[in-house]
Chain A
Amino acid sequence: MKMLQKALLAVATLAIAAMPALAAQPKLVFGSDCTYPPMEMLDKDKKIVGFDIDMIQAVAKAGGFEAVVKNVAWDGIFAGLTAGDYDAVLSAVTITEERERTMDFSNPYVDAGQVLIVNKNLNGLTLLSQFGGRKVGAQIGTTGAIEVMKFKNIKLKSYDEAGLAVEDLYVGRIDAVVVDSPTAKSYVLQNARYKGKLKIVGDLFTDEHYGIALKKGNTKALAMINRGLEIIKKDGTLAKLAHKWLD
Chain B
Amino acid sequence: MTNPAPAAAKPGGKSLPPGGPTKDSMHLAESSLIPGDAETIAAWKIAFFGAIAVLVILPIWRPSPFLEIMSFVPDGLIATFTVTFASICIALLLGLLAGLGRIARTTIINRIATVYVEVVRGIPLLVHLFYIYYALGPLLHLNGFMSAIAALSFCYGAYLAEIFRAGLQSIHKGQMEAALALGMSRTQALWKIILPQTIRVILPPIGNEFIALLKDSSLVSILAVSDLLRRGREYASTTFFYLEAYTVVALIYLVMTLFLSRLVGLMEERLRTHGRKNN
Tell me whether B144 is interfacial, beta carbon within 8 Å: yes
Bound complex: CA A234 to CA B195 (Å): 81
Residues of the A chain whose Cβ atoms lie less than 8 Å from the Cβ of B141: 171-173
Can you list, as one digit per residue, whether each of A147-170 has a CB less than 8 Å from chain B (1) or not (0)?
001000000011110001101101
Known: A160-B222, A167-B134. A79 touches B234 (CB 8 A): no
- Interface class of chain B by DSSP: helix
**Residue B230 interfacial (CB < 8 Å):** yes
A9 to B87, CA, bound (A): 61
Q: Are B238 and A141 in contact (CB under 8 A)?
A: yes
CB distance from B170 to the nearest CB of A (A): 43
Decide yes or no whether A146 CB sits under 8 A from chain B: yes
Complex CA–CA separation, A63 to B189 (angstroms): 83
Report whether over half of chain A's contact residues are helix, strand or loop; otherwise say mixed: helix
Give complex CA distance A102, B236 in Å.
14
- The answer to whether residues A79 and B240 also contact, given A158-B224, A159-B224 and a CB cut-off of 8 A, is yes
Query: Which A residue sits closest to B225, measured CB to CB?
Result: A157
Q: Which residues on the B side are within 8 Å of A76 (C-beta)?
A: 237, 242
* Cβ contact of B144, chosen from A78, A98, A173, cutoff 8 A: A173
Contact A78 B233 (CB under 8 A): no
A135 to B6, CA, bound (A): 44
A-side contacts of B74, CB under 8 Å = none
Besides the known contacts A140-B233, A146-B238, A170-B138, 20 further A-B residue pairs in the complex with CB atoms under 8 A apart = A75-B237, A76-B242, A78-B240, A79-B242, A102-B240, A140-B234, A141-B237, A141-B238, A145-B238, A157-B144, A157-B226, A158-B224, A158-B226, A158-B230, A159-B224, A164-B224, A167-B134, A171-B138, A173-B137, A173-B141
> Can you show 30 pairs from A to B with CB atoms below 8 A apart?
A75-B237, A76-B237, A76-B242, A79-B240, A98-B238, A102-B240, A140-B234, A141-B237, A141-B238, A145-B234, A145-B237, A145-B238, A146-B238, A149-B238, A157-B144, A157-B224, A158-B226, A158-B230, A158-B233, A158-B237, A159-B224, A160-B222, A164-B134, A167-B134, A167-B137, A171-B137, A171-B138, A173-B141, A173-B143, A173-B144
